[in-house]
Amino acid sequence: MSESTVTAKNNQTVTIDASGVYYRDLNDRLREAVAQGASEIKLHNVCGQRYIGTDLKKPVNIEILGTPGNDLGAFMDGPRITVRGNAQDGCGNTMNGGEIIVHGHAGDIIGLSARGGKIFVREDVGYRAGIHMKEYEDKKPSLVIGGTAQDFLGEYMAGGTLVLLGLNLKKGETHQANFIGTGMHGGVIYLRGEVHDFQLGREVGVAEPEEADFQVLRRLIGEFAALFGYDAEEILKHRFTKLFPRWLRPYGRLYAY
């Protein structure tokens, strides 16, 4: 079987060479492999192709070697995508379930409107990470970032859990993001390290984590550490800050008559 041919059988690993393949054609091959029962798919030479894993609804493992384009894993519900490098913007856009694991950096609006599943990023992310994350009943998305983030972290966040670890910050350095939690009206943000009040949106409250919070942190940081080779207990030794919404509808009065 050549790398460009999809002839999967149940529980078979399929390898696809994405070099020079148009993104729609690549996603067609990916869906075909999943439909034929592949449980493991390796995508080699990925270079900017968009929408990889979009709308997939089966528990397949997808490994990407290269740099996927925007909207990786958008609307997906079930797969586990592992990126052996960086990811671009919109990673996990409106994802409903499954996992995305990025062994490098990720771009802007990661986790945009995610309503389920988990995203783990080893390094930094761009602007508006976790924007409009939401939750419903047992669906509760999680986004764990090993490095730091740019402005508007958790903007308009409506649910879920966002963890910013800052593992690459030097001693005495603080997170530099401003407007954290602007418009936040649900969910929770946990920051490892220090953040100043002027960096926070007006809608954000600040508290020390309680035991219930540390149960969540131990679980998510344990998963993060296992994925990327860190010591979870060492990470948890440092101080964490809990950010939460002060109001459920921060802009409701603007639309009241």
Encode pLDDT of 76-102 as tens digits: 999 999 999 999 999 999 999 999 999
How do residues 43-55 score in pLDDT, each as one tens digit? 999 999 999 999 8
The better pLDDT of the pair 246, 64 is held by 64
- For residue 139, the Cα-to-chain-centroid distance in whole angstroms is 15
Report domain 105-255's class.
mainly beta
With 50 as the cut, is the pLDDT of residue 1 above it? Answer: no
**Res 136: pLDDT:** 86
Q: What is the DSSP string of 108-171?
A: TTTTTT--SSEEEESS---TTTTTT---BTTB--EEEESS---SSTTTT-EEEEEEE--TTPPT
**Res 3: pLDDT:** 46
CB 217 within 8 A of CB 163: yes
**Residue 192 and residue 242: Cα distance in Å, rounded?**
9
**% of the chain beyond a pLDDT of 90:** 83
**Res 128: pLDDT:** 98
| pLDDT level of residue 5 (50, 70, 90 thresholds) | very low
With 60 as the cut, is the pLDDT of residue 10 above it? Answer: no
Mean pLDDT for 55-60 is 90
| pLDDT level of residue 252 (50, 70, 90 thresholds) | low
Structure tokens at 239: 């101080």
Mean pLDDT for 159-168 is 97
In the predicted model, what is the mean pLDDT of the chain? Answer: 92
Structure tokens at 29: 């091959």
**Res 34: pLDDT:** 92
Place of tokens 């920051």: 191
Q: What is the DSSP string of 69-113?
A: -SSTTTT-EEEEEEESS-B-TTTTTT--EEEEEESS-B-TTTTTT
How do residues 118-160 score in pLDDT, each as one tens digit? 999 999 999 999 999 999 888 999 999 999 999 999 999 999 9
Mean pLDDT for 206-233 is 97
**Res 138: pLDDT:** 87
How do residues 194-219 score in pLDDT, each as one tens digit? 889 999 999 999 999 999 999 999 99
Mean pLDDT for 183-189 is 96
CB 180 within 8 A of CB 154: yes
Mean pLDDT for 99-116 is 97
Cβ neighbours for 29, distance < 8 A, ≥ 6 positions apart: 4, 6, 16, 21
**Residue 42 and residue 16: Cα distance in Å, rounded?**
6
